[in-house]
Homo-oligomer: A and B are copies of this chain.
Amino acid sequence: MTNRNILVSIIEDDDTIRSGYSFLIGNTEGYEVVSSYSSYDAAAHKIASDKPDVILLDIEMPGTNGVDAIPRLKKLLPHAHVLILTVYESEKLIFEALANGASGYLTKNTPSAKIIASIKEVKEGGGPMSINIAKMVIRSFQKNKESPLSKRETQILEEISVGKSRSQIANELFIDLETVRSHIKNIYLKLNVNSRADAIKTARENRLI
């Protein structure tokens, strides 16, 4: 069997950048640019017939933005991989993009060779990320070391964050219901909130849990 080219579509509103990518990828052995569009809206009705393996997608675009475009592209082309290529490094955008089905996330300062390699990687089921993105993702797993909460309080807040009730927590930690209550009260005091939802929100924002 012969390895066929990796078919790439590009959706990027900046003409210069789009031509640049197109030139770069089109002139690389084993890669083929099947189409390029200046927005998702321009691509929507045509990209399905292009049958790309990988879609390079910008986030900042007129009309439908990149993040919202991902699930639509996945619906049009269930087997295509979406590789985000953008200048944005906001944690929110990155996670939204990944949650929406992006297979990788590169920033625009990524060297050409890495872009080419990432397209192949993504086609083969990998998940390429720029180092700064990987850093943010890793950091998102790490807890804040300067938590105002004690160990026990953190533990209880974690139970709360998975939907446990007071009595469930009391049972699992082998302590009295009242003790759980007083811990929760102290948690609320420290976080300056007065509901489970707010406590969870504040804790997540500050990586306390």
Enumerate chain B residues within 8 angstroms of A163, measured Cβ to Cβ.
Answer: 160-161, 163, 195-197, 199-201
B162 touches A103 (CB 8 A): no
User: How many copies of this protein are present in the complex?
Assistant: 2
CA A17 to CA B104, docked complex, whole Å: 31
CB of A121 closer than 8 Å to a CB of B: yes
B135 touches A131 (CB 8 A): no
CB of A134 closer than 8 Å to a CB of B: yes
Chain A 80-120 interface mask (CB, 8 Å, partner B; 1/0): 00000000000000010011011110000000000000000
Q: Can you report 7 residue pairs joining A to B where beta carbons are below 8 Å apart?
A: A101-B142, A104-B134, A127-B139, A162-B197, A162-B204, A163-B196, A168-B197
A27 CB to nearest chain B CB (Å): 25
CB of A1 closer than 8 Å to a CB of B: no
CB of A67 closer than 8 Å to a CB of B: no
> Given contacts A131-B127, A165-B197, A197-B168, are A103 and B160 in contact (CB under 8 A)?
no
> Given contacts A121-B131, A134-B129, are A141 and B201 in contact (CB under 8 A)?
no
Chain A 137-155 interface mask (CB, 8 Å, partner B; 1/0): 1110111000000000000
> Given contacts A99-B143, A168-B197, are A126 and B137 in contact (CB under 8 A)?
no
B95 touches A141 (CB 8 A): yes
A137 touches B142 (CB 8 A): no
B141 touches A98 (CB 8 A): yes
Chain A 167-203 interface mask (CB, 8 Å, partner B; 1/0): 0100000000000000000000000000111011100
CA A73 to CA B131, docked complex, whole Å: 24
Enumerate chain B residues within 8 angstroms of A66, measured Cβ to Cβ.
Answer: none
